Amino acid sequence: MREAAFIKQNKARWQLFEAVIAKKESVNPDQLADLYIEITDDLSYAKTFYPQSNTEAYLNSIASQAHQKIYKTKKESTNRLVHFFKEEFPLEFYHYQKELLLAFLVFAFFTIVGAYSSATDGNFVRLIMGDAYVNKTLENIESGDPMAVYKSQDEGAMFLAITINNIRVAMYAFILGILFSVGSLYIMMNNGIMLGSFLYFFYERDLLWESSRTIWIHGTIEISVIIVAGAAGLVVGNGILFPGTYTRLASFMKSIKAGLKIMVSTIPFFIVAGFLEGFVTRHTEMPDLLALLIIAISLFVILYYYVFYPIRITRKKEHEKLLEQSLK
């Protein structure tokens, strides 16, 4: 290929890459890595067929700059983490709002089923929650401290145990998505029924407010991110069921990658939920206003980060792109 034709064929990609390096354009890390590989391939080609040319010098220059950008220092790795939570993940999660909605609806529906079943079958709560838990809670109610179960362990040990257990449940919700999404929906069903049964158990004893203002201190975040994990499982299952223009294997690999990113996003929230359950929920003597404030802030953060922020940042990026195109 003649050098002029080689330049014409690849010029647009080189200019994009140069703009990314100069921070005039933004792409996700995977695209950046792909561009870097293509640039180094072009550089090798130029060295072979156009040695000592301006084309070789130009490609060598931007490849060197790219090397410094991709192979980052420790400080830059921190920036990478910030970029993931601030831009990369929300932009990608915008495309999975339907999966999130489905996971939520299934969870909410079976919460109602759990409450209804408890209301119509006196043994249902014991079937779901277990005799040991029900008997212990009844003892706590008799002693005047219905929420004593949250004070039964040392704060640190409880924080660690709860966080690990919540992550385990979330991983089940994610991994079982491989069963054509049915596994993830099962986890949503199971946890929804447990929540509905739990709430009705206390409602039946005129303790719904006392139980709710206590459990939702940590449960607002805990349950929300389990639903998010269910959405990650649905992403995996849908990748298998609906490959679109991809091969089924390629679609599966793509969905696994997307699902893992969703799971990574939940880790800080699980840690916060575990901290609240271990160190804060046990203080049942706290004023109702403070409990409601914690619950309201938790709900706002979850809704903003997983629903409103992905929409907002996606629309912002689309607007910026349209503006750039109109100025060209």
Token pair 């709860």 is at which residue?
A: 162
CA angle 189, 220, 307 (to 5 degrees): 85
Average pLDDT, the chain: 91
pLDDT at 120: 97
Spatial contact of 282 and 150, defined as CB atoms under 8 Å apart? yes
The pair of structure tokens assigned to 235 is 């992403």
Which is more confident, 199 or 7?
199
Those residues whose C-beta lies under 8 Å from the C-beta of residue 68, and which sit 6 or more positions away, are: none
Q: Of 1-10, 32-41, 249-258, 259-268, where does mean pLDDT reach its minimum?
A: 32-41
Amino acid 74: pLDDT: 45
Alpha carbons 256 and 251: distance in angstroms, whole number: 9
Which one is predicted more confidently, 163 or 33? 163
Q: Alpha-carbon dihedral of residues 138, 106, 108, 268, nearest 10 degrees? A: 80
| Sequence-distant contacts of 116-122: CB under 8 A, at least 24 apart | 116/196, 117/193, 117/196, 117/197, 118/196, 118/197, 118/200, 118/201, 118/204, 119/200, 119/204
- Over residues 10-14, mean pLDDT: 87
- The whole model's pTM is what? 0.77
Percent of the chain with pLDDT over 90: 69
Query: Mind listing the pLDDT tens digit for each residue in 98-116?
Result: 999 999 999 999 999 999 9
Integer Cα distance of 236 and 116 in angstroms: 31
> Over 80: is that where the pLDDT of 218 sits?
yes
Give the tens place of pLDDT for each residue, 182-192: 999 999 999 99
Mean pLDDT within 168-180: 97
